[in-house]
């Protein structure tokens, strides 16, 4: 039997040295050590040899096999290591990726600011449901059915099948709507709590209206309610002026309290502010002293307690503060808008 063990060894070792990828090396390993390799053939043919020849050749072949296996494994290990370090190597001269951070929506920002100011004046922040019943949104606020004031709030009424799963949560399930203002939370809060207290209620409200630069079908309000003994319009004036001074910071600010009408307050007022020297008068808030009928509805004795309430539009304040010309921008999802905040 003629063969050259050295030749096999040499060509295998050359191949091992040459190959630079772990995958290719596996292929070559099969070629030299696999079932059809020359070495395996030789080992297989040992059985046809005489005993002496077998004794002489057998150990040599086995030894070569082991040696090649060791070389393959070592090379494979080295290659794997160098390949992984290759992948992790960082080219510090390459341009980096720009890191972009998100932005807080201007309305969230304004809401947070307003909450902080009122918290600093010892108010609590509470929230109420966006799906309301007719009783809390209207009747209990002294706006009974057929009251002309209902026209102040163009309402999204909910269809019966849309409201089934809300039923359990809401008192008067026959007629549900998307709340047209945050005032119903005055009722909900007073039903469960006793005066004295002072709260604000930020939240989303809905109006069935055509949209334009100053109207949206959904927007945000912050309701305020302070009830106790001997509360007066003077208390209201102090709290509101204090709030706006803090909200607009260092700017000079003037106030005007105009008589107005809302069914749930008596007297009702509207608050206008004027910023800076050349500013225009801007209406920023509806308010008033809580109506006796509202106290009646929640079981308070109107002879014992008094209080004031107010409601302001979050978008309107944000528009004034940041000089935003169109309310629809808030909900446009336009990144060029959001990125400015
Ligand atoms: N709820 C009123 C609205 O949406 C705003 C308002 C006016 C709230 C007077 C009040 C208030 O609490 O006293 O138009």
Q: Provide the pLDDT confidence category of residue 26 given band limits of 50, 70 and 90.
A: confident
What mean pLDDT value characterizes the chain? 90
Check whether 164 has a pLDDT greater than 70: no
Q: CA 142, 264, 292: angle at the middle one, nearest 5?
A: 80
181 has catalytic annotation: yes
Rounded to the nearest angstrom, the distance between the alpha carbon of 190 and the centre of ligand 1 is: 16
Rounded to the nearest angstrom, the distance between the alpha carbon of 178 and the centre of ligand 1 is: 16
> What is the enclosing helix (H) or strand (E) of 323?
none
**230: phi > 0 → left, psi -120 to 50 → alpha, else beta; which?**
left
- Reduce the DSSP state of residue 200 to 3 states and report it: strand
For the Cβ of 189 lying below 6 angstroms from any atom of ligand 1, the answer is no
Q: Output the residue whose Cα is nearest ligand 1's atom 9.
A: 287
User: Counting beta carbons within 10 angstroms of the beta carbon of residue 63, is it exposed (0 to 12), middle (13 to 18) or buried (19 or more)?
Assistant: exposed
Catalytic choice (221, 222, 239, 240): 221
Backbone angles phi, psi at 254, to 5 degrees: -115, 150
Give the range with max mean pLDDT: 59-63, 155-159, 164-168, 243-247.
Answer: 243-247
Q: What is the pLDDT at residue 116?
A: 98
For the Cβ of 200 lying below 6 angstroms from any atom of ligand 1, the answer is no
| DSSP classification of residue 53 | H
% of the chain at pLDDT higher than 90? 60
- Chain centroid offset of residue 253 CA: 34
Record the pTM.
Answer: 0.71
298 has catalytic annotation: no
Q: Which CATH architecture has domain 106-338?
A: 2-Layer Sandwich (3.30)
Domain ranges of the chain: 2-87, 106-338
Structure tokens at 217: 């079908």
Check whether 245 has a pLDDT greater than 90: yes
Q: What is the pLDDT at residue 169?
A: 57
% of the chain at pLDDT higher than 70? 93
157 has catalytic annotation: no
Q: Write out 84-118 in H/E/C secondary structure.
A: HHHHHCCCCCCCCCCCCCCCCCHHHHHHHHHHHHH
Q: Which tens digit of pLDDT belongs to each residue from 318-336?
A: 999 999 999 999 999 999 9
Q: Which tens digit of pLDDT belongs to each residue from 85-127?
A: 666 677 888 888 888 888 899 999 999 999 999 999 999 999 9
Q: Is the N-terminal amide bond of 212 cis, ω within 30° of 0? A: no
281 has catalytic annotation: no
Stretch 173-191: mean pLDDT: 93
């Amino acid at each position: 039997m003629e063969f050259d063990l050295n030749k096999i060894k040499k060509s295998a070792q050359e191949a091992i040295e040459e190959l630079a990828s772990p995958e290719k090396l596996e292929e070559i390993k099969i070629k030299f050590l696999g079932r059809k390799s020359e070495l395996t053939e030789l080992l297989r043919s040992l059985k046809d040899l005489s005993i002496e020849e077998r004794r002489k050749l057998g150990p040599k072949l086995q030894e070569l096999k082991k040696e090649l296996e060791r070389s393959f494994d070592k090379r494979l290990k080295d290659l794997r290591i160098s390949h992984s370090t290759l992948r992790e190597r960082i080219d510090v001269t390459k341009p980096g990726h720009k890191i972009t951070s998100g932005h807080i929506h201007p309305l969230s920002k304004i809401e947070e600011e307003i909450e902080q100011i009122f918290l600093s004046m010892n108010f609590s922040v509470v929230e109420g449901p966006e799906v309301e019943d007719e009783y809390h949104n209207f009747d209990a606020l002294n706006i009974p059915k057929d009251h002309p004031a209902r026209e102040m709030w163009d309402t999204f009424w909910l269809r019966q099948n849309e409201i089934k799963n809300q039923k359990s949560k809401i008192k008067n399930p026959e007629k549900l709507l998307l709340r047209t203002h945050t005032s119903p939370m005055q009722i909900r809060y007073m039903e469960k709590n006793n005066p004295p207290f002072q709260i604000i209620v930020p939240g989303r409200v809905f109006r069935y209206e055509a949209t334009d630069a100053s109207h949206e079908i959904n927007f945000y309000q912050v309701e305020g309610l302070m009830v106790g003994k001997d509360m007066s319009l003077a208390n209201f004036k102090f709290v509101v002026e204090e709030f706006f001074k803090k909200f607009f910071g260092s700017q000079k600010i003037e106030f005007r309290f105009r008589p107005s009408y809302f069914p749930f307050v008596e007297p009702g007022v509207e608050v206008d502010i004027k910023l800076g020297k050349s500013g225009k008068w801007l209406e920023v808030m509806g308010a008033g002293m809580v109506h006796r009928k509202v106290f009646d509805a929640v079981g308070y004795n109107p002879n014992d307690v008094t209080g004031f309430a107010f409601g302001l539009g979050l978008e309107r304040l944000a528009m004034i503060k940041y000089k935003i010309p169109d309310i629809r921008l808030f909900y446009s999802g336009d990144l060029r808008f959001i990125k400015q905040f």
